[in-house]
Amino acid sequence: MKKSLTPQQRRILNVIKDLTLELGKPPTLEEIRKASRLNYISSVQRHVEALKEKEYLDHIPNQSRSLSPSLSNNQKVNIPLVGNIAAGTPILAIENIEAYIPYEPSKYKFKAEDYFFLRAAGDSMNQSSIEGKTIDDGDFILVKKQNAAESGQIIVALLGEDATVKKLTQGSDCYILKPQSSNPNNKPIYVFDDLVIQGIVIDVIKKGVMKDE
């Protein structure tokens, strides 16, 4: 079992993880210093040495950009489950967060802060495919926060005070939010005004899996 980390050591480790994902390569000590807002490289070096000693970081000698989180320390990250989304309220405002769901960090490519979960409701997307999984009532969908999307992507859009999950299609003079459903009562939604996109759906955790865990 690895030794426990101090709060500052854990913060530096998270900075290194985030920078590695953001840059697509291990960060330099100077990049870590700037991101963690430390004044001195020596402070970064001290924390990095502690992380290596506690086996939270791997290091290849005599190579630049040689720091990487230990593969044996592939801890899950808590992603917030957002209960409600409303116009004018930040998605991850405290009053919107219902719970946290552990998620494997190797599965995403950006900062954990850029993601949130929603609980799917209804059967309007029960014939969709995200990573080979459908979106059924009660499933948890992982959403990457962004305000733009490409036609064909499954998005979370805000319509008034309600969030909806649909497949985006760009029409000639409007946006079309299409259900992917076995239920013929689910109909497309045509949006002629500006479309407020909250993010794109990138993964699904089936409700049965959550119960098993």
Task: Choose, from 124, 128, 167, 181, the residue flagged as catalytic.
Answer: 124
The answer for residues whose C-beta is within 8 angstroms of residue 3's C-beta and 6 or more apart is 54
Separation CA 25–CA 100 (nearest Å): 28
Q: How far is CA 116 from CA 12, 148, 203, in A?
A: 23, 16, 11
Q: What 3 state SS string does 87-145 have?
A: CCCCCCCHHHEEEEEEECHHHCCCCHHHEEEEECCCCCCCCCCECCECCCCCCEEEEEE
| 166 classed as catalytic | yes
| 34 classed as catalytic | no
DSSP code per residue over 184-197: TT---EEE-S--EE
**Residue 83: what residue type?**
G
Task: Choose, from 17, 144, 166, 178, the residue flagged as catalytic.
Answer: 166
- Which positions are annotated as active-site residues? 124, 166
